[in-house]
Structure 1
Amino acid sequence: MLEVFLDVYDELTDVINNAFMANLAAIDKELLEELCAFLKLFDQAIDELSEEEKPTMHKVIPIRQLLLNHCDLKYEDSGERIELKRFVGK
């Protein structure tokens, strides 16, 4: 779901109104890719906890810990990713 905009990013220049072209140009595609990669685990967690066929309460704590660990700062994280992790980890 998160990657829809990323998938069509290159094609938007053909269909977007010229008035909004500056807004599109202001979006850093590499940063968008990094954001999608980081948020993918959160998207998967939502899907996992939203199952209707079977109870998922027992999965809450392990998935929460997985997401908290995902937000731990790492040496190789970019400045933007560190800022995002600090925001999400609050």
Structure 2
Amino acid sequence: MFILACELYDLPNQKAHNIRDFVNIVVEEFGLKINEDIFIVSENEPKMVAAFSDGVIRIGCNAHYINNVIQHAFEFEESCCSGVQTFFSLVQDIITYVRQTHKQSSLSTCVQNYCKIRFSSVYIMLNTFVMVYNKLLSILNTTQSQNYLKINYVELEQLTRYLKYFHDVIDKLSCERTPTIHLVISYKQFLLNKSNDDDDDCLHLVQLKRYISKHPNDY
């Protein structure tokens, strides 16, 4: 990797036009110019998208796109993934209770709640829940115990194992020390292959896989 510059951003705000002006000034110091033959790779934050929307070809963050597919499958009603969304809701309620009642100390692993702005957050939440599953019932109140008993552990573990593939790919594509753009196509195909139906898959996982296998190209 070659780094041309790492410079302090000293403009008055981070509006899109200022970001673009700042980048233009820096590259011009090296006798370069951003034009329609240049590719810019940036995160998918709206101001970055706007800054490089004209006169250049912008490539978004593929880890972000993959994360969005998962996130929308668990959040959007039109995804038709009601089964995994029910799992998601039950687990989130239980973890929220554990954290709010300060019962984390009774568990060997710190359960993590869902955070929309964190990559792989669905996987991280479900995985920590699976890790402490057998120890949870003893610290839950009546309402959360009922929620706990609605969760099929085998199906939840199956779902978590599938989501780990996406977590690992996001982690590899997010590497900050080596280029990863050459890995995108192969990892995308890897995830599509893992999203094929399997005879042992529970119905909820089949719904999720079918949704995900349809949408990477859209994103």
User: What's the TM-score, normalizing by structure 2?
Assistant: 0.38
Q: How has the CA–CA distance of structure 1 residues 85 and 54 changed in structure 2, closer, same or farther, with 3 Å as cutoff?
A: same
Decide whether the 8 Å contact of 2:155 with 2:202 is kept in 1.
no
Query: Equivalent of 2:158, from 34, 41, 56?
Result: 34
**2:134 alignment partner, one of 7, 10, 13:** 10
Equivalent position of 1:48 in the other structure: 172
Change (3 A) 1:8 1:67: same
Cα offsets for 1:24-69 (capped at 9, x unmatched): 1111101111101111111110111111111111111110010011
Higher helix content, 1 or 2: 1
Cα gap change, 1:77 to 1:18, in 2 (>3 Å): closer
Distance in 2 separating the partners of 1:83 and 1:24: 22
Partner of 2:195: 71
Alpha-carbon distance, 1:80 to partner: 2.9
Alignment correspondent of 2:10: none
Q: Which protein is bigger by CA-based radius of gyration?
A: 2
- Number of residues paired by the alignment? 90
Indicate how the Cα distance of structure 1 residues 28 and 77 shifts in structure 2: closer, same or farther if over 3 A, else same.
closer
Change (3 A) 1:33 1:67: same
Name the structure 1 match of 2:211: 87
Residue 61 of structure 1: which of 185, 206, 210 is its match? 185
Higher relative contact order (CA 8 A, sep 6+): 1
Q: Tell me the distance in 1 between the aligned counterparts of 2:168 and 2:157.
A: 17
Residue identity (%): 37
Deviation at 1:76, TM superposition (A): 4.1
Q: Which letter maps to 2:141?
A: N
CA root-mean-square deviation: 1.5
* Paired letter, 2:127: E
2:47 alignment partner in structure 1: none
Instruction: State the distance in 1 between where 2:200 and 2:143 align.
Output: 37
